[in-house]
Amino acid sequence: MLSDSKKGESLTSKYRAFSYSEILNITENLKTVIGEGGFGKVYFGILQDNTQVAVKLLSSSSAQGYKEFRSEVKYCIC
């Protein structure tokens, strides 16, 4: 998960960190939108081990901030 306004930064969890280029690969260049919320769109992706994942990106037009986005990400991966 990564803010599109912070493309050079990866979010690290105790599980794994992904760069923006890895996210593009996982989601086939953000091909399939599976949802949308206050932070922005959620995309379908597949990891190299064939695990299906949802990838949420913070939209630069989001009314919610980066700090709130990081808090939600931390909640989702715990």
Known binding residues are 56
Nearest-10 Cα torsion for 64, 66, 69, 70:
-160
Known binding residues for ATP are 56
